[in-house]
Amino acid sequence: MASIGEGMGALALAGGIVGYLFVTHQTKQKRLEIIHQERLIAMEKGIPLPELPLEPSTNAGGMDSQRVLPILGIVLLSLAAGAMVMMYLVLTGENHRLWVVPLPFLFLGVGLIAFDLMSRKSER
C-alpha cells in the first residue's frame, strides 16, 4: 500500500515533467515568433534571407548517428551477459532459476547489433 508521501512524490514528478514540457514548448514558440518577425522586417527592407531550418540540429553532441545502434547494442549485450553470469554465481536455492531474467536485454543487444550489420550490408 502506498503512503501519502509516495503519492505526493509521484505527483511532484509528474508536475515536473509537465512543467518541463510546457517550458520547452513555450521556448520553441517564442523562437519561431522571433524568427518570423525578423524575416518580416527583412522582407520589408528587401533583404534576401537564406532558408533556415525551424528546428536546430539534434546532433549537438557530435556523435555520429550511425554509431548509436551498435554502441547501444554492445552496452545492452555486455550488461545483460554480466548480470546473468553474476546472478548465476550468486543466487542460491529457489532464486537460482532467476539468473535468466536479463535474457531479453541480451537478445535486444544482439538484435541491435545484427540490425546494424544488416543495414550496413544493404547500403553497399
For 48-101, write each residue's pLDDT tens digit: 877 766 565 555 555 567 788 889 999 999 999 999 999 999 999 999 999 999
Q: Which amino acid is at 28?
A: K
* 51 shares a domain with 101: no
Q: What is the pLDDT of residues 14-57, one digit of tens each?
A: 999 999 999 999 999 999 899 889 888 988 888 887 776 656 55
- Domain span at residue 79 reads 65-123
pTM of the entire predicted model: 0.50
Give yes or no: residues 70 and 101 share one domain: yes
In a domain, 60, yes or no: no
Amino acid at 70: P
The answer to whether residue 98 is domain-embedded is yes
User: What's the total number of domains in the chain?
Assistant: 2
Vertex 33, ends 16 and 21: CA angle to 5°? 10
Does 76 lie in the same domain as 37?
A: no
- Helix, strand or coil for residue 91? coil
Task: Give percent above pLDDT 90 in the chain.
Answer: 53
What's the mean per-residue pLDDT of the chain?
A: 86
Q: Are residues 70 and 117 in the same domain?
A: yes
Whole-angstrom CA distances from 89 to 28, 36, 50, 84, 95 are 51, 63, 63, 9, 11
